[in-house]
């Protein structure tokens, strides 16, 4: 081999024999050496480095994750281990999170099942999972009960809204939920751990379908609203706080794509392009998604492309991995490996520092 070749290549491709006694981390190193397997191995190593280097970690997830209980298997364990500092997701995931508190009637079904028969039987399908349509009415009633609580009669950001909802659910003030059920709720766990939950398109879910009718019925008595501008500023404040406090490092794990991905990347152009503050973007990035990059869609754009927008740092371009796969097929391996290694830390409880973070950003802007 020519000497010049050494600068062009990585480590030798040499697999180890699987024995069945390996840890998940050892299995990554031994058998995940090429193609999507290698992408997954490198993603795990980047996430591990985020944790070891004490980065503030943003986790986004789209798709129908809570209906298939992915929150219980993967998201909540990471939250409890202190490995998630900010969450960004869809209103639909949070609505179904509440639905699961009301009902445990979720069942597997073949994805090619006859949808006409399912409809006649009163079942609603999400690919290979079904639930009784009547359960939606229970979730709708819960949303309406929650919004009628006195502390909901004001404008608030989405983290404030989700925190207020979860406070009632955790306290049992609306509905009677046992401890085991609350342990299975992303909303309640985020409340108990002080993790802000953002939603970039709250109106695109059944939560706000219910609120639309309530507003028409109540008229002037309806005082609730989402402060969209305040929401953007609060997200920017957490990013600025992460860069100016603690390790000064900020990273992101993106499961799927869509609005959660886009919204979680928006604080960087807000801070730099709009506010004129140099914060240098995310320092490392892992995305698991099955979208192609060729159509210019944001869900599949790379860290390099995001760097041209100021959303990721120059360092992130070298510490980034796009895993081309379905999240449910591969991300459990990463969660298992992290927890098996005992990679946990104390929660940063960023929501508890909300006022401090906003004040810090306001001071930088001389407001």
Residue range 4-27, pLDDT digits in tens:
777 777 788 888 899 999 999 999
In a domain, 139, yes or no: yes
In a domain, 337, yes or no: yes
Residue 127: Cβ-neighbour burial (10 angstroms; 0-12, 13-18, 19+): exposed
Is residue 295 scored above 90 in pLDDT? no
pLDDT digits (tens, 9 = 90+) for 105-139: 999 999 999 999 999 999 999 999 999 999 999 99
pLDDT at 316: 86
Is residue 88 scored above 70 in pLDDT? yes
Contacts of 107 (CB under 8 A, 6+ apart): 129, 130, 131
pLDDT digits (tens, 9 = 90+) for 58-71: 999 998 999 999 99
Angle (CA) 187-192-195 rounded to 5° is 65
In a domain, 24, yes or no: no
Confidence of residue 305 (pLDDT cuts 50, 70, 90): confident
Residue in the block written with tokens 């306001």: 362
pLDDT digits (tens, 9 = 90+) for 238-269: 999 999 987 899 999 999 999 999 999 999 99
Average pLDDT of the chain to the nearest whole number? 92
In a domain, 15, yes or no: no
Can you give the residue range of the structural domain that contains 120?
Answer: 32-364
Number of domains in the chain: 1
Instruction: Read off the tokens for 47.
Output: 């996430």
In a domain, 149, yes or no: yes
In a domain, 255, yes or no: yes
In a domain, 13, yes or no: no
Taking residues 158-176, report their average pLDDT.
Answer: 82
Taking residues 306-331, report their average pLDDT.
Answer: 89
Find residue 225's DSSP bridge partners.
155
In a domain, 289, yes or no: yes
Is residue 177 scored above 50 in pLDDT? no
Q: Please report, for the domain that includes residue 165, its CATH number.
A: 3.40.910.10
Is residue 178 scored above 70 in pLDDT? no
Nearest to 56 by CA among 342, 274, 334, 351: 351
């Amino acid at each position: 081999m020519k000497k010049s070749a050494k600068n062009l290549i990585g480590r030798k491709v040499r697999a180890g024999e699987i024995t069945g006694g390996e840890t998940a981390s050892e299995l990554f190193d031994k058998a995940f050496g090429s193609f999507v397997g290698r992408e997954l191995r490198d993603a795990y190593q980047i996430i591990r480095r985020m944790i070891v280097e004490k980065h503030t970690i943003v986790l986004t997830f789209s798709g129908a994750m809570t209906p298939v209980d992915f929150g219980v298997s993967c998201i909540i364990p990471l939250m409890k281990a202190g490995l998630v500092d900010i969450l960004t997701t869809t209103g639909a995931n949070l609505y179904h999170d509440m639905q699961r508190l009301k009902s445990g009637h979720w069942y597997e079904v073949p994805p090619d099942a006859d949808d006409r028969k399912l409809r006649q039987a009163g079942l609603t399908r999400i690919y290979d999972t079904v639930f009784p349509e009547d359960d939606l009415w229970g979730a709708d009633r819960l949303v309406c009960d929650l919004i009628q609580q006195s502390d909901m009669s004001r404008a608030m950001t989405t983290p404030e809204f989700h925190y207020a909802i979860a406070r009632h659910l955790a306290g049992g003030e609306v509905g009677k939920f046992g401890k085991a059920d609350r342990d299975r709720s992303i909303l309640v766990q985020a409340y108990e751990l002080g993790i802000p939950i953002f939603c970039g398109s709250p109106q695109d879910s059944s939560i706000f379908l219910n609120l639309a009718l309530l507003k028409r019925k109540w008229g002037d008595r309806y005082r609730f609203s989402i402060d969209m501008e305040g929401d953007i500023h609060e997200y920017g404040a957490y990013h600025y706080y992460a860069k100016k406090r603690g390790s000064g490092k900020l990273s992101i794990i993106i499961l799927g794509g869509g609005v959660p991905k886009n919204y979680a990347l928006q604080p960087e152009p807000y801070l730099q392009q709009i506010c004129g503050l140099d914060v240098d973007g995310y320092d490392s990035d892992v995305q698991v998604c099955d979208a192609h990059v060729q159509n210019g869609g944001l869900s599949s754009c790379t860290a390099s492309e995001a760097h041209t927008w100021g959303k990721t740092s120059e360092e992130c371009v070298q510490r980034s991995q796009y895993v081309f796969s379905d999240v449910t097929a591969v991300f459990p391996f990463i969660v298992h490996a992290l927890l098996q290694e005992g990679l946990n830390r104390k929660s940063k409880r960023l929501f508890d520092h909300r006022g401090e973070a906003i004040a810090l950003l306001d001071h930088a802007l001389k407001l």
